[in-house]
Amino acid sequence: MKEISYYPGCSLHGTAREYDDSIRGVSKLLDIQLHELEDWTCCGASSAHCTDEELAIELAARNLAIAEKNDRELLVPCVACYSRFKAVEKEVKEHSRKLHFSYQGNVPIRYALDLFCDETILEEVKKKLAKPLSGLKVACYYGCLTVRPPKVTGIREYENPQHMDRLMKLLGADPIPWSYKADCCGASLVMTRTDIVRKLSGKLLS
């Protein structure tokens, strides 16, 4: 059984509770034991990173410091939290930033899709697959924060990512070629510039 630390973040304990349920359910099915971080706090993705750089770094670093003590990979399902953690990881490693916590940047940070596309995990998916998605055509949408900027995420296929496509094929679905798969949906502007969000999201859905 694979053991991994788990940071649900604020959304998965609130408005995205069903996402948390899904992550836990799929992980259990694939023999992945999740250890939720003790005393975790908000990572600052919602607003802190736009208003106070120091606070944004400290909030994310505090959670990463907790995870680092556990000496396990850290699963972060929320893409906004994942983006903040990866940005702070890079900041600490490259600029030796002084923090109020002991954090060296040594905890591997994994996004859910990335984790579930590991070769060993895919083998478990094959074994546990009960209802193949045969005949279903799907357009895989990765969004921008899971793959960019590549110097932060470490993703090589950031213009045309393929790991979700490969997972869908394994599940029996037929991923279609789609040039918008890594385009921004405008989510970070949903409260301030709804006109831009409508334009960006509308392009993806049309």
Position 39, amino acid = D
Place of tokens 């799929």: 26
In the chain, what are the domains? 1-128 (1.20.1050.140), 131-206 (no CATH)
The pLDDT of residue 49: 66
Cα Rg of the chain, angstroms: 18
The pLDDT of residue 201: 97
The pLDDT of residue 196: 97
The pLDDT of residue 23: 98
The answer to whether the predicted template modeling score (pTM) of the entire model surpasses 0.85 is yes
CB-CB neighbours of 137 under 10 Å: 10
Mean pLDDT by 10 residues, the chain (206 residues): 97 96 97 98 81 89 96 97 95 83 92 96 96 97 96 94 97 97 93 94 95
CA-CA distance, 157 to 172, in Å (whole number)? 23
